[in-house]
Amino acid sequence: MTPDRIPNQVNYSVTPDKFDAVLFDLDGVLTATAKVHASCWKKTFDEFLQQHAKENDIPFQAFEIETDYKLYVDGKPRYEGVKSFLESRNIHLPQGSLEDDPTAKTICGVGNRKNEFVHLVLETEGVEVYSGSVDWVKHLMSQGIKTAVVSSSKNCEIVLKAAGIIELFKIRVDGKVAAQLKIPGKPAPDTFLKAAEMLGIEPKRAVVVEDAISGVQAGSAGGFGLVIGVDREGDAQALKDNGADIVVSDLSEMLTNSSVVS
């Protein structure tokens, strides 16, 4: 922890005298789309692994959300997540291209297949918003604290619009922006640092809010003033171990200044 970081504490607050901006992850922090992504990844990888097992005459080993998703995929850019997980199973595919057909046996093809599933769910089921998160965002804005979304998802804009909250964020650094600027995604801190730069804020005067291990790692590596972990799956200690200064189960706690894991 750098000297500029806020020390662990039970009573805490995010106020204009301490911070100028809060940078939010999307999936699992603002919207419940983390569950959508997890289920779509499982559907995609299980489909691929079943075919791979059949072709190579080996036992089928399913993709596990509790372990594989959290370790290799959660919070990372789509194609990096594909590569990371498949390599954990000693499966090495060519990168391919962004335009690859979803049936192509390439990193991009597998990623595009997953994206098809996500779009189908969004179109048929819509997007669930965490009301406590939205309430806190509005509270921050009322205090003059700037807000931004920093997401690895290339569907970020679509999700924000579907959720009806896109107007709450002045800046958006998502998977599309990262690709255009050729900056690495989480766990590297570059996307968060770019959002702070676009807001005209020094990292030590900004807060990072994340629910993924790769996300809190990014916040910690970037020298931000405070890294808040959002624990929706019983991962409080893992978030702490990987860079979260404090952990909440819901961002409504930030309005009441409740006790947190610190």
Amino acid at 95: Q
Quick check: is 25 catalytic? Answer: yes
Helix (H) or strand (E) holding 252: none
| Contact predicate 54/66, CB 8 Å | no
SS (H, E, C) 192-242: HHHHHHHHCCCHHHEEEEECCHHHHHHHHHCCCCEEEEECCCCCHHHHHHC
Per the annotation, the verdict on 68 as an active-site residue is: no
Catalytic residue among 4, 17, 25, 101: 25
Other Cβ atoms closer than 10 A to 47:
15
Task: Give how far Cα 30 sits from Cα of 15, 50, 135, Å.
Answer: 20, 33, 10
Q: How far is CA 172 from CA 15, 159, 167, 241, in A?
A: 22, 12, 11, 27
Residue with tokens 């993924």: 212
Catalytic-role residue among 4, 17, 27, 100: 27
3-state secondary structure 106-128: CHHHHHHHHHHHHHHHHHHHCCC
Q: Which residues are catalytic?
A: 25, 27
